[in-house]
């Protein structure tokens, strides 16, 4: 799923198809993050997919710059929620 999404997102297809590919890639990342949350027993706090997309945008590479604009328009933007270099969401320490 992640590989197919990455290939579609970086293809020469129209913007809508490329965004769909990026969302497929992000779904794979989200599923992995949620799985870690389940095993870490903090899954109840894990964001929805839509909120995760708003949070993950800063770690996307520059290859997706045009697509990030479309993501921000559709899902919003919540920076600083996911650590740089990681695609997993973790609850903030108190």
CB-neighbour burial class of residue 90 (10 A; exposed 0-12, middle 13-18, buried 19+): middle
pLDDT over 70 (residue 94): no
Domain extents in the chain:
2-75
pLDDT over 60 (residue 52): yes
Please give the C-alpha separations between residue 94 and each of 35, 36, 57, 80, 91, in angstroms, as whole numbers: 22, 20, 24, 16, 9
Q: Taking the model in full, what pTM does it have?
A: 0.92
pLDDT of residue 92: 87
As a whole number of angstroms, the distance between CA 91 and CA 56 comes to 14
Residues 55-67: pLDDT tens digits? Answer: 999 999 999 999 9
CB 57 within 8 A of CB 71: yes
pLDDT over 80 (residue 83): yes
Q: How far is CA 88 from the centre of its chain?
A: 9
Nearest Cα residue to 42 out of 29, 33, 53, 30:
33
């Amino acid at each position: 799923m992640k590989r197919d999404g990455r290939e579609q997102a970086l293809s020469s297809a129209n913007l809508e198809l490329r965004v769909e590919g990026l969302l497929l890639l992000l779904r794979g990342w989200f599923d992995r993050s949620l799985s870690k949350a389940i095993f870490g027993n903090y899954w109840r706090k894990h964001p929805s997919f839509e909120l995760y997309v708003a949070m993950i945008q800063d770690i996307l590479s520059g290859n997706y710059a045009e697509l990030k604009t479309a993501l921000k328009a559709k899902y919003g933007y919540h920076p600083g929620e996911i650590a740089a270099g990681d695609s997993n969401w973790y609850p903030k320490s108190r």
